[in-house]
Amino acid sequence: MQQRDKLFINGKWIAPHGAGSIDVIQSSTEAVMGRIPEGSPRDAEDAIQAARAAFDGWAATPPAERAQYLRKIADGLKARTEELAQLIATEVGMPIKLARAIQVGGPVFNWNETARLLESFSFEERVGNSLVLREPVGVVGAITPWNYPLNQITLKVAPALAAGCTVVLKPSEVAPLNAFVLAEVIEAAGLPPGVFNLVTGYGPVVGEVLASHREVDMVSFTGSTRAGKRVAELATQTVKRVALELGGKSASVILDDADLPAAVKGTISACFLNSGQTCSAHTRMLVPRSRYDEVKEIAARVVAGFTVGDPLQEGTKLGPLVSAAQKDRVMGYIQRGLNEGAELVAGGPEAPDGLSKGFYVRPTVLGNVDPRATVAQEEIFGPVLSVICYDTEEDAIRIANDSIYGLGGGVWSGDEARALKVARRIRTGQIDINGGPFNMTAPFGGYKQSGTGREGGKYGLEEFLEYKSLQLKKPAA
């Protein structure tokens, strides 16, 4: 068991002000796998003050020097790849093979990519008689989720540091142990004291201090839409910059000329990644009504190939959910979908055979779902796909847009030009065309209640910068 009893503040590992601790539960066994400090408002205050004191010096550090620190951090994480992959697979439940590639490989890439961007990014330009500067926004409070814990931390902390900001990080208390490894790597990289600070604890305690504190210039939050609304509400009191990456109910639109087996398989894979615990998961599959029977047959066959089991076993394709509460929530949604008239194509609300321990659920496909049904409108955050039939292309676009969310999605067609035309009409931040792969340098973020702001590549770096215009006196003619 990993016992963490100190917070990382002002370049040192220090004891928290309170004596409380939080248990970290192994998702596959339900056993306690670690403990972390239950941070207090005073701990958050100390971290904010450390970040404020360090800001001027870090902001004045040349970008090339900041980039060197980022590369050291990337190298430090890469050296601990297997340790981190095992840790996150145990915390979250993602199968180990995927955890290595996504949960650790993604962060290593993004730290390096941010360093590369920083070496070529222009922080000033001439516009007429003005010199326009890009300057760091200031002290950043980063509040991160449990589903892709290290990568969501990276997408906030790396560009914030690159921009010249200082950071106070509050990771999810559900999957926090990887954040301590990152803090150790940052310490070893020699980052100046106070530039990065780690305070663990609960959102309503530590998170609310970060969102409301007048010395925090920006808060970047990833999590549920409900919690994001609370963060934004608190932040408005000090008119701070707010970036929110929230929920999703993404539609995969399969047009009538698509390669149906490829489209159904691709959609299911995009729905079930990380056991469906992905905000941009394609959880609504829109199919031509005339091809529904074919879709059912293909979907049942594809789902049968998703081996559910111990995430630390190399052959597992689908691990457990992260917690008992999440398991109960997902099973409840499956049952509600059936109660509201959906057809069970695969899976169901019962626990998988032979897996009585651990937070496992059956990968489930619900067929012939009404577009207004609960399972078609609310974010489930589990391996549950709703198949919705449509009659015309216009009907499909209308259903895809009939959501309070707008984060991800997909369009499948034998004619790429047609797919692009449909994609342009869907109100969402990112759309895969015929299964196009995820691009970590493209902007990621959402429309509507999926949030504000963007992460990834140069777009993520720009979130942490302010504009300043210096009006110069024009030389005499």
Is 102 in contact with 94 (CB distance < 8 Å)?
Answer: yes
Is 369 in contact with 376 (CB distance < 8 Å)?
Answer: yes
Determine whether 271 is an active site residue: no
In the 8-state DSSP scheme, what is residue 291? G
The long-range contacts involving 301-309, CB below 8 angstroms and separated by at least 24 positions, are: 302/264, 302/265, 302/268, 303/268, 303/345, 303/346, 303/347, 303/363, 303/364, 303/365, 304/346, 306/272, 306/363, 306/383, 308/352, 308/355, 308/360, 308/362, 308/363, 309/355
What is the Cα–Cα distance from 300 to 362, expressed in whole angstroms? 12
What is the Cα–Cα distance from 182 to 195, expressed in whole angstroms? 14
Non-local (6+) Cβ contacts of 360 within 8 A are 28, 308, 320, 321, 327, 351, 352
Q: How many Å separate Cα 391 from the centre of its chain?
A: 34
**Which token pair is 12?**
């040192």
DSSP 88-111: HHHHH---HHHIIIIIIHHHHHHH
List 253's β-bridge partners, or say none. Answer: 286, 411
Q: Identify the residue whose tokens are 């895969």.
A: 432
3-state secondary structure (DSSP) of residue 134: strand
Is 35 in contact with 73 (CB distance < 8 Å)?
Answer: no
Segment holding 244, helix H or strand E? strand 241-245
Determine whether 245 is an active site residue: yes
List 467's β-bridge partners, or say none. Answer: 134
CB atoms within 10 A of CB 415: 12
What is the Cα–Cα distance from 409 to 430, expressed in whole angstroms? 6
CA distances from 216 to 137, 142, 373, 383, 450 (A): 10, 10, 41, 37, 23
Query: Which among 91, 173, 208, 245 is annotated as catalytic?
Result: 245
What is the Cα–Cα distance from 159 to 141, expressed in whole angstroms? 13
Q: Which residues have a catalytic role annotated?
A: 245, 279
